[in-house]
Amino acid sequence: MNDIQIKDYGQQVDPDEAKARIELAAQGHTEILTTAEMQAAYTVIGFAAPFVVVERKADGQRGSLEFTHRPRLYFGFRED
């Protein structure tokens, strides 16, 4: 049997989306997106958890967003 180890990538966000949004906003994040909102604003190029490489549809700027697992929220766009 394979021994699978799971790494802890930091504090987990509460599954309640409203509470998670408040916590992320308190950390200074101004753009907090659901999966549907992220897909409307960005084209996904690739994932490297807990980050996603994206291209912003509005201006073609490439960068990355960080995301939480549950609830799945995207935030912290950083240009390349």
* Rounded Cα–Cα distance for residues 41 and 39 (Å): 6
60 dihedral zone (left: phi>0; alpha: psi -120 to 50; beta): left
Q: What is the predicted pLDDT for the residue at 10?
A: 54
The answer for residues whose C-beta is within 8 angstroms of residue 80's C-beta and 6 or more apart is: 61, 62, 63, 64
Is the bond preceding residue 50 a cis peptide, omega within 30 degrees? yes
74 dihedral zone (left: phi>0; alpha: psi -120 to 50; beta): beta
**Comparison of pLDDT for 5 and 29, the residue scoring more:** 29
The per-residue pLDDT for range 7-62, each reduced to its tens digit, is 455 555 445 888 999 999 999 999 999 999 999 999 999 999 999 999 999 999 99
Q: Is pTM beyond 0.75 here?
A: yes
**Comparison of pLDDT for 5 and 16, the residue scoring more:** 16
Q: What is the predicted pLDDT for the residue at 36?
A: 93
Q: What is the predicted pLDDT for the residue at 70?
A: 86
